[in-house]
Chains A and B, each alone.
Chain A
Amino acid sequence: GAGVSQTPSNKVTEKGKYVELRCDPISGHTALYWYRQSLGQGPEFLIYFQGTGAADDSGLPNDRFFAVRPEGSVSTLKIQRTERGDSAVYLCASSLGQGRSPLHFGNGTRLTVT
């Protein structure tokens, strides 16, 4: 079956612009996660959805970052007033739930802020 799909695969934007990153999870997966991965580092947690609600957004670095999942499926990560430090690969993952369920990842979106 189809895996986790992320679009676009690459995004270049100018400092100060607004960007949206999209994630389409595996059908039937209720949990959805956003991670950010800087060069040479492991993924860092940003936000986690269970259904439509954000169950844990403690990883969002500041109020420029926001994510939604209005119908409990597709999610959009939104970044306002982008800064060069936001440049990274943004990974989305989905799972059947927490704890024992492994995460299934997409290929990520590489965001470059110039």
Chain B
Amino acid sequence: AQTVTQSQPEMSVQEAETVTLSCTYDTSENNYYLFWYKQPPSRQMILVIRQEAYKQQNATENRFSVNFQKAAKSFSLKISDSQLGDTAMYFCALPISGNTPLVFGKGTRLSVIA
């Protein structure tokens, strides 16, 4: 069965500091995509970053980057220079298999403190 595990229910970080959110998963696929989504209090899920499993280079989007360890099935999200607007729930997600919908982890609630 497909699982996505986010082991940190809550985290906090000081403004301008760096924080890393962890995610591990299980899949039988070799080629797949992994995603991090952000859900602020407004409720809308927003795509933060996407990683292609067959690419060795870690994806980066401005202050957001991933540390993708395929063999370990680990996909962590690093947020640099944290801003108050980064306060939200963060979800890791990937397809169960090649053509199935995304399975989401339970999320990590991140609070950025001024």
Of B44, B46, B52, B91, the contact of A108 (CB 8 Å cutoff): B44
Contacts of B52 in A (CB 8 A): 100
With contact pairs A45-B101, A100-B52 given, residues A105 and B44 touching in the complex (Cβ less than 8 Å): yes
Contact in complex: B99, A107 (CB < 8 Å):
no
Contact in complex: A100, B101 (CB < 8 Å):
no
Contact in complex: B107, A99 (CB < 8 Å):
no
Among B4, B50, B99, chain A packs the most CB atoms within 10 A around the CB of: B99
Contacts of B91 in A (CB 8 A): 42-43
The interface size of chain B toward A, counting residues with CB under 8 Å, comes to 26
Contacts of B105 in A (CB 8 A): 42
Closest to B49 in A: A102
With contact pairs A42-B91, A56-B100 given, residues A106 and B33 touching in the complex (Cβ less than 8 Å): no
Does A26 make an interface contact (CB < 8 A)? no
Within 8 A of B (CB), among A21-65: 33, 35, 40-45, 48, 56, 59
Contacts of B100 in A (CB 8 A): 56, 98
Within 8 A of B (CB), among A87-114: 89, 91, 93, 98-100, 102-108, 110
Contact in complex: B107, A42 (CB < 8 Å):
yes
Contact in complex: A99, B32 (CB < 8 Å):
yes
Contact in complex: B101, A56 (CB < 8 Å):
yes
Contact in complex: B101, A48 (CB < 8 Å):
yes
Contact in complex: B95, A99 (CB < 8 Å):
yes
Q: How far is the CA of A107 from the CA of B37 in the complex (A)?
A: 14
**Shortest beta-carbon distance from B35 to chain A in Å:** 6
Contacts of A110 in B (CB 8 A): 43
Q: Give the B-binding residues of A (Cβ under 8 A).
A: 33, 35, 40-45, 48, 56, 59, 89, 91, 93, 98-100, 102-108, 110
A sample of 20 more A-B contacts (CB under 8 A), given A48-B101, A56-B101, A99-B33, is A41-B106, A42-B4, A42-B93, A42-B107, A89-B43, A93-B45, A98-B98, A99-B32, A99-B95, A99-B98, A102-B35, A102-B47, A102-B50, A103-B45, A103-B102, A105-B37, A105-B46, A107-B44, A108-B44, A110-B43
